[in-house]
Amino acid sequence: MENWTGRERTQLDAILDQLIPANRDRNIPAAGELGIADFLTAEANQNSDLCAAVSALLAKAAKLEGGTSPDVVRQLEAALPREFKKLLIATYKGYYSRPDMRACFGVGEHPVHPEGYGVPPEPPEVIAELTAPVRARGPFYRDPAR
Amino acid sequence: MANEPVDVLIIGAGASGAAIAWSLLETRMRILCLEQGAHLSDQDFPSRREDYELARYAEFSCDPNVRQLKQDYPINSQDSCITPVNWNGVGGSTINFLGHWPRMKPSDFRTRTLDGVGEDWPVDYHTLAPFYDINDQNTGVSGLGGNPGYPEYTPPLPPIPIGKLGQTLAKGFNEMGWHWWPSDVSILSQDRDGRQKCVNAGTCDLGCAAGAKGGTNFTYWPMLESAGVELRTECRVREIQVDENTGFAKGVLYHGPDGQLHEQKAELVVVACNGVGTPRLLLNSSSKLFPDGLANRSGMVGKNLMFHPLTGVVGVFDEPMKGHEGPMACSILSQEFYESDPSRGFVRGYGLHSGRSTTPMTYALGGYGIDNPIPWGAEHREIMDNVYPYLAGLTVVSEDLPEEHNRVTLDPELTDSDGIPAPKITYRLGENTRKMLKHGEERATELLLAAGARRILGKSDDKVWWRAGWHQMGTCRMGDNPETSVVNGWGRSHDVKNLFIVDGSIFVTAGAVNPTSTIQALALYIGDSIKTNIETLFD
């Protein structure tokens, strides 16, 4: 179920683009253009607090002048801090739960089980060399029984 | 509704309940375990889903107040700077713990004698050492022998990789001339007993679908169930009942999966519900004989609650640290500042733990166990692109001292879904702990710079981590004096001779290490003591 009108949805996309902006050099999209509003809609259908928070922010945004610039978003944050934090958290969840976005930061797109990551064990001689200065200090604890 | 009586009734299928059940197997007594949660099936592990990180903030949160699953009980933490975290189900909190497995050190058992704080334990390191060894074998512990920070022992499996992040920090420790060592972990570095070795998924808190992490759902319970121990799940104990004539525990009343109240009689009752759940159950089991709560003639049930208050320092390095690859909490551990040194201005000490870093969503939301999202806008872009991949950090894990005002009581209004009063936590940081954490932050900063960090990320406040309440200790402590302790030196209630407590609540002091290996070693020791004293057990 869509919670917001077409105009509100456009405004929401613009706000989301400010929360997580794009990095054009690395082809990383902003949150609005990635469609995170769809995630928020689905979440809001399960979570009336989030729905109310986003609706309140959109109502406030409609009264502010200046489009959806960073300054306007900062005004929203100052005016409705509790609601803004709910939106911010939900936006981060929606954006970074996308496997393709995880991959932009060096983290695998795949579910971590069963594949995991290949981390080779250090050869014993490497560990022996690294720990040598620690071993050289000798016993390093208090033992009241000794 | 009554059931056939059993010889041993264990309440809780987590770390300690499973370990003592294993110890008592050879007695051939009829053993029953009641567990308020269920067995997790393979498809329940979120790490098999593409959006696995979302589970961390919902049904697989470490915080029962966030999860709010049927088997969870709410915890009122409004009067605490730390909230307890846990898991309720077969395996208990070993389902979502991080598998870090350091032992307590010899001095931890003698803090009164050595440092004039806390109390001495009625057992010592060397008494527990054989039980640590047995438990390490049963669990499948990986690590490197020869750590000069301990009396000699060797974990059964070679260490897991410390990775680029661990190697980088290790060089920093060597540069400073400080102690460090690859972490002991209850995570398999090799396939063992049908369990798959660690695949470095980095999401230990979401349960280990591979079975590499030593949750008792993968270690003890398969052995126990095949040996005939009965495990009754989705059964929440309401109260332990006492025979008014003998003063002995006669069994329990519990809510079954059918929603009905059932009675279960037993010759011997073992409580294994952790440092919050155990005092809650005892306080909820008041009677004419024990008007202030079962086994509470000392008045100590629920008092002396200890956590391990945590803080952390993070450095930004020049190269990607790949911190999401490998077990979350376990790479290397420094105990350079573990023992008391009067020149530092506090007693006892802390560990510097190098975990790894985390996945993008969790980092953006403030870090594991923290609800403080990073900035939005251009600053967000900068942090995620140019900071997040390059992070390595150290966690300062401090020793909490026992203080009576830190406690678990019953909330007068809050209840679980069966109407059983919920626990209330009253806890504040001691001054000694504050000084320790500050000292630790300063040393961690020095270390990260020595390891090559180009920048240290500042911390905006002096708060400890809110969801740092993994380690719940001290609320039913051991001791030889019935006036100042709840159980004796082998876990038997001073007041009720057939009632035993085996979880972290019996700790006398906290040490500054993750407690699960000690909890299980103690449970094995108590099981062994029961067998040794079987002829005179109830005298």
pLDDT tens digits along B271-325: 999 999 999 999 999 999 999 999 999 999 999 999 999 999 999 999 999 989 9
Q: Does the distance separating the beta carbons of B365 and A93 come in below 8 Å?
A: yes
pLDDT category, A2, cuts 50, 70, 90?
A: low
Please choose, from the candidates B397, B296, B406, the residue with its C-alpha nearest in 3D space to the C-alpha of residue B355: B397
**Among B459, B427, B391, CA closest to B164:** B391
A127 and B54 within 8 Å at the Cβ level: the answer is no
| Residue-wise pLDDT tens digits, B422-474 | 999 999 999 999 999 999 999 999 999 999 999 999 766 767 889 999 999 99
Query: A95 to chain B: which residues are within 8 Å by CB?
Result: 361, 364
Indicate the length of chain A as a whole number. 146
The architecture (CATH level 2) of B1-21+84-140+214-306+413-421+469-534 comes to: 3-Layer(bba) Sandwich (3.50)
Give the pair of three-digit tokens for residue B60.
């697989």
Compute the nearest-CA separation of A79 from chain B (Å). Answer: 16
Contact A143 B107 (CB under 8 A): yes
Q: How far apart are CA B10 and CA B270, in angstroms?
A: 5
Nearest-angstrom CA–CA distance, B465 and A59:
35
The backbone torsions φ and ψ at residue A70, rounded to the nearest 5 degrees and listed phi first, read: -55, -35
pLDDT band at A1 (very low <50, low <70, confident <90, very high): low
Cα B504 to Cα B507: distance, rounded to the nearest angstrom: 6
pLDDT, residue B355, reads: 79
3-state secondary structure of A111: coil
- Residue B293, min C-alpha distance to chain A (Å): 36
Percent of chain A with pLDDT over 70: 99
Do B531 and B26 meet the contact criterion of CB atoms below 8 Å apart?
yes
Tokens of B496: 């009720």
Q: Which two tokens stand for residue B57?
A: 């903030």
Residue B161 structure tokens: 């990789």
For the segment A39-44, the average pLDDT, to the nearest whole number, is 96
For chain B of 539 residues, list the mean pLDDT of each consecutive stretch of 10. Answer: 90 98 97 97 88 95 96 98 97 96 98 97 98 98 98 97 95 98 97 94 91 96 97 98 97 96 98 98 98 98 97 94 88 97 97 90 89 94 95 96 98 97 97 96 97 88 86 98 98 98 98 98 98 92
What's the CA gap between B221 and B14, in Å, rounded? 9
Using CB atoms, pick whichever of A106, A113, A133 lies closest to residue B389: A106
Radius of gyration of chain A measured on its C-alpha atoms: 24
Find the CB nearest B126 among A95, A99, A145: A145
Angle at CA of residue B125, ends B121 and B127, nearest 5°: 95
Strand partners, B253: B239, B263
Is B325 within 8 Å of chain A by CB?
yes
B105/A141 Cβ within 8 A: yes
Kindly provide the residue ranges of all beta strands, DSSP E only, lying in B399-463, ordered along the sequence. Answer: 407-415, 421-427, 455-457
User: Cα dist. B235→B205, B259, B267, B386, B415 in Å?
Assistant: 24, 9, 19, 50, 16
What span, in angstroms and rounded, lies between the C-alpha atoms of B310 and B276? 19
- Chain A residues in contact with B200 by the CB 8 A cut-off are 116-119
Contacts of B61 (CB under 8 A, 6+ apart): B55, B67
Of B126, B146, B201, the CB nearest to A113: B201
- What ipTM was predicted for this assembly? 0.95
**B54 token code pair:** 């979302």
Please answer whether residues B118 and B478 qualify as being in contact, where contact means their C-beta atoms are separated by less than 8 angstroms.
Answer: no
Residue B343 half-sphere exposure toward CB, CA atoms < 13 A: 1
Min Cα distance B242 → chain A (Å) is: 40
Q: How far is residue B191's CA from residue B189's CA, in Å, rounded to a whole number?
A: 7
Give chain B's length: 539
pTM: 0.96
Whether the per-residue pLDDT at A37 is higher than 90: the answer is yes
Q: Which pLDDT score, from 0 to 100, does residue B374 have?
A: 95
Q: What residue spans define the domains of chain A?
A: 6-111
Token pair of A100, please? 């393709």
CB contact under 8 A, A141 and B161: no
Structural tokens at position B497: 């001779």
Give residue-wise pLDDT tens across range A65-119: 878 899 999 999 999 999 999 999 999 999 999 999 999 999 999 999 999 999 9
DSSP-derived pairing of the beta strands B407-415 and B230-232: unpaired
State the Cα–Cα distance between residues A34 and B192, nearest whole angstrom: 44
Number of H helices and E strands in chain A, helices first, is 7, 0
CB of B158 within 8 A of CB of B206?
no
Q: What pLDDT sits at residue B357? A: 80
Q: Alpha carbon of B67 to those of B34, B73, B439: distances in Å? A: 21, 10, 35
The two tokens of residue A118 are 């290949």
- Exposure b/e, A54-79, CB count within 10 A at least 16 = b: bbbbbebbeeeeeebeeebbebbbee
Cα of B454 to nearest chain A Cα, Å: 20
B326 touches A at CB < 8 Å? yes
Q: Given an 8 Å threshold on Cβ–Cβ distance, is A130 in contact with B170?
A: yes
Rounded to whole angstroms, the Cα distance separating B440 from B314 reads: 13
Burial B277-290 (b: 16+ CB within 10 A, else e): bbbbbbbbbbeeeb
Decide if B49 touches A, using CB distance below 8 A.
yes
The total of other beta-carbon atoms located within 10 Å of residue B531's CB is 13
| Whether residue B360 has a cis bond before it, omega within 30° of 0 | no
